[in-house]
Every structure is written in C-alpha cells, then in structure tokens.
Amino acid sequence: MKDSPSNPDPNDRMRSYLAKIAAGPKMSKDLTEAEAEDALSSILNGEVSRERAAVFLIASRMKIETVEENVGYWQALDATTVKQEVKLDRLLQISEAFDGFERTPVFTFYTIPLLAEIGLPAYGHSALPLPPKFGITFEDMLVNHYQASPDHDFAKRKSLLDQHGFGFIGTQQTHPKLDALKDLRAEIVKRPMLAMMEKMLMPLKAKTNFLATNYFHPGYVQSMLAAAELGGWQKTVIGNGMEGSALYGVHKATKLYILPKQGVVEEQSLAFSDQLNPAATQQITEAFESLKETEATRENLVQLGERALRGLGGPAAPLIAWQAATFGHLFDVFPQVQSGYETAKSLLHSGACYGKLMNYLMQCG
C-alpha cells in the first residue's frame, strides 16, 4: 500500500470505507487506490469482522468499482499470494472463471497437457467451485473426479509442473487467505470483485510468463488490463470465451484484448470460421452443435476428454485442438492457427497426451 493508514484500528478504517461506498446509488463515493488495498488487506488478514467483510464485498460491487479501486484490490491480493519460481523458460497460466461452468462442456482441462506437447508449458489456476455457479473448475476435476489430494502443499504441485511441463494448482496452495473466504462468498451469493482479480494473480513464475483469461462484462476489461500491466506478464490475452472459459471464438466471434509487456493494447476478433480451412471449420461446427445436447457434468467431460486424448476422436477432439492452436498462435508457437490446428490434431491422434495426463494424475494422489 502506498500510504500507511493514519488510524491504527482496522475496524475503524473499515467503518470509514463503508461510510463512503455503502451510502446508496447517489451518495456513495469512490475509494482511493490505497484505501481499497487497505480494506481488502484487512479482510484477507482477518482483521475485521465477518459481517463487515461481507458488507464491504457486497457494497463495493453494488457501487461498481473504479479502475483505481480494482488496482488497489489486486495489490492486496498480490501481496498475499504465495509465489514460487518454476524451472521453465516460458509458462502459460490459464485462469478461467473460478466459479466454473455448468452448461455446455468446456475441455480446457484436457487442452493443458496438449499445450505442453506442442511446446507451450501450461497450467490451470483455479479453486474448488465457488458461488454463484458452483460449476466445474480445474481443481474440481482434479480433486472431485480424479481424487487428487486437496491438501497437497504448493511445493508438491510446483514440482509436478516442473516435471511434466503442465499441471493444475488451486487457491488452497497459492492463496490460503483468499481460499479461506470461500464460505463467506457462498453466503453473499453474488460475485464480488474477487472473482475478477483472482484470475489476474501470478503464483508461479518462469523466465517468461503468459496469461490467458476471460471477461464477461466488457466494463471490467480496463481493470483487468491495469492489473495485468502491474503483474509482469510478457503477454496477457483477455477474451470473452464461452461461459467464463478461455475457449475463444467457438460460440461466437470473441473479442480479444492483447497486452504485450510494456506495449499497447491490441483489440482483435477471433472466430474459428475465419482462421481454419473449410474441412476444419466443418469439424468444429459439427462438434460444437453436438455438444449443445450434452449435459455439462464431470462424468461427460471425462468420457469425452479422455476419449480425445486417447486418439479416439469424438466431439471434444476438434475443440481441444482448436483451443491449443489458438493459444499456440497467440503465444508465438505457431505462425497461423490452421498449422497449429493440424499439429494439435496429429498429437491427439497419437494418444501420447493421455498417458502423460494419467502419469501426472497418479502422482497427484
């Protein structure tokens, strides 16, 4: 925080912050960056009551946060994130919505080992399902289906990533103070600003770091970009993927915001039909249409995702290949999405990714 608070009592400071932001739609005032950081730091450190913490999280969202406030909230989260370095030259962090998805299946969990095969080490950062959806997340798949221990320490998850070139890690490892708020978040029901800023954290650091994440409301993109600029990413890609995911350009043309380190934001539209040849376009179209009738359950996700990684095809395979190809293109592995798609399809057909994922999962037990 830039300035030390003049009042040493965090409860008194929180009272003053609530007086500013919880005064109704016409009378509420914005917090400074330092006040926002202090308020959320006090909540994360357990220095204020549960009741005041809940009121603050609700009031800050109801008021609609400013970019300055959101930067302060990100700084509070960043300062309390557990951070470790990995022995990788480059690393892609994929942060989808931490409350998961619940409609059409999204197979990013199975894209992640494929990314390592194409030469782009990657991991999924998430949490066990949060409100309001309590949908499927990376950590939900890892713990609740594949029976990985939720109590792994950070060093264990990090070592698996170093070893395999891909992996998954949750807030239980990377941010225990944030993870401890999950019951409170369930009580307040609506998404607080935490849902936006938790996707922008960097718990694992390689020599070069990339971030792919999603937005839902366009009005929050500027806050996410401001956090990304402070976060030290070599390149950040933020897109309105399908249902809070980083599956870009399938359900509709996706608007991407691409921020290179110390660069200017580029806005780009991405749609599979504009990037692939007619045969590949047909494959994606048929796969997506068939999945509209498929319930988004862990069991269906596992059946279809594992089938694709075994080299047996199915509707998940073209979507996994497309997602790997788009990441590969956006983060400079492939010059064109089409060449990336063909490479990803070939690697899926070999079945090698399945064995590597199973080996990783065995070590997660």
pLDDT for res 159:
95
Greatest Cα pair distance, the chain, in angstroms, is 66
Q: Could you tell me the two tokens for 213? A: 């994440």
> Which ranges of 4-153 does DSSP label H, i.e. alpha helix?
10-21, 24-27, 33-44, 50-63, 67-79, 108-117, 138-140
**pLDDT digits 0-9 by tens, 177-204:** 999 999 999 999 889 999 999 999 999 9
Is the pLDDT assigned to residue 317 strictly greater than 90?
A: yes
pLDDT for res 216:
85
What share of the chain in percent tops pLDDT 70? 99
The mean per-residue pLDDT over the stretch 83-97 comes to 97
Quick check: helix, strand or coil at residue 170? strand
Single-letter amino acid code for the residue at 54: A
pLDDT for res 3:
54
How far is the C-alpha of 169 from the C-alpha of 156, rounded, in Å? Answer: 10
Q: Which residue intervals of the chain bear CATH 3.40.1030.10?
A: 86-365
> 220: pLDDT confidence band, cut at 50, 70 and 90?
very high
How far is the C-alpha of 90 from the C-alpha of 70, rounded, in Å? Answer: 28
How far is the C-alpha of 158 from the C-alpha of 84, rounded, in Å? Answer: 8
DSSP states of 234-256: SEEEEE--GGGSS--SSSSPEEE
> 1: pLDDT confidence band, cut at 50, 70 and 90?
very low
Choosing among 2.40.40.20, 3.40.1480.10, 1.20.970.10, 3.40.718.10, the CATH entry for 10-79 is 1.20.970.10
pLDDT for res 4:
56
How far is the C-alpha of 37 from the C-alpha of 177, rounded, in Å? Answer: 15
What is the b/e burial string over 48-80, where b = at least 16 CB atoms within 10 angstroms of the residue's CB? beeebbbbbbbbbbebebbebbbbbbbbbbbeb
How far is the C-alpha of 198 from the C-alpha of 182, rounded, in Å? Answer: 12
- The CATH number of domain 86-365 is 3.30.590.10: no
> 43: pLDDT confidence band, cut at 50, 70 and 90?
very high
Which of 117-121, 124-128, 166-170, 214-218 bottoms out in mean pLDDT, i.e. has the lowest? 214-218
Is the pLDDT assigned to residue 329 strictly greater than 90?
A: yes
Is the pLDDT assigned to residue 2 strictly greater than 60?
A: no
How far is the C-alpha of 242 from the C-alpha of 250, rounded, in Å? Answer: 7
pTM for the full model? 0.96
Label residue 244 left, alpha or beta by phi (over 0 means left) and psi (-120 to 50 means alpha): left
Average pLDDT over the chain, rounded to an integer:
95
Q: Could you tell me the two tokens for 343? A: 């490479």
What share of the chain in percent tops pLDDT 90? 92
How far is the C-alpha of 243 from the C-alpha of 332, rounded, in Å? Answer: 26
Half-sphere exposure of 57 (CA within 13 A, CB side): 29
How far is the C-alpha of 238 from the C-alpha of 236, rounded, in Å? Answer: 7
In what side-by-side order are the strands of the sheet with 235-239?
Answer: 166-170, 122-126, 90-95, 208-214, 235-239, 254-260, 266-270
pLDDT for res 219:
87
Is the pLDDT assigned to residue 341 strictly greater than 90?
A: yes
How far is the C-alpha of 119 from the C-alpha of 311, rounded, in Å? Answer: 19
Is the pLDDT assigned to residue 8 strictly greater than 90?
A: no
> 236: pLDDT confidence band, cut at 50, 70 and 90?
very high
Kind of pairing between the strands at 84-85 and 90-95: unpaired
pLDDT for res 88:
96
Q: Which residue intervals of the chain bear CATH 1.20.970.10?
A: 10-79
Residue 4: Cβ within 10 Å count: 8
